[in-house]
Structure 1
């Protein structure tokens, strides 16, 4: 069984561009917010990286 490429593209866009894997509730003691794992690294969305790449390849500033 093959999954149509349009479905794969839609899911990939939702996950990596829209950030559907972001902002959910931390439910248990074993769950950790990514900000606690990497406190010195700012959150940079993939869409910001793509925008920077498309506009002369300059890395985005930390927000």
Structure 2
């Protein structure tokens, strides 16, 4: 992934994954647009997060 992707949650929050060099920034914003957290992740950590999310989702 070499461009930003945003996911919108049921409560109106937004999670954006943005590439930054060889790493990624994961931005979480509440429904009003206020940044709740920004996490810097390596590509391996991001992949592990995605894999774990896919593992625990039951739908």
TM-score by length of 2: 0.26
Higher relative contact order (CA 8 A, sep 6+): 1
Please tell me whether Structure 1 or Structure 2 has the larger radius of gyration of its CA atoms. Answer: 1
* Structure with the higher strand share, 1 or 2: 2
TM-score by length of 1: 0.25
* Structure with the higher helix share, 1 or 2: 1
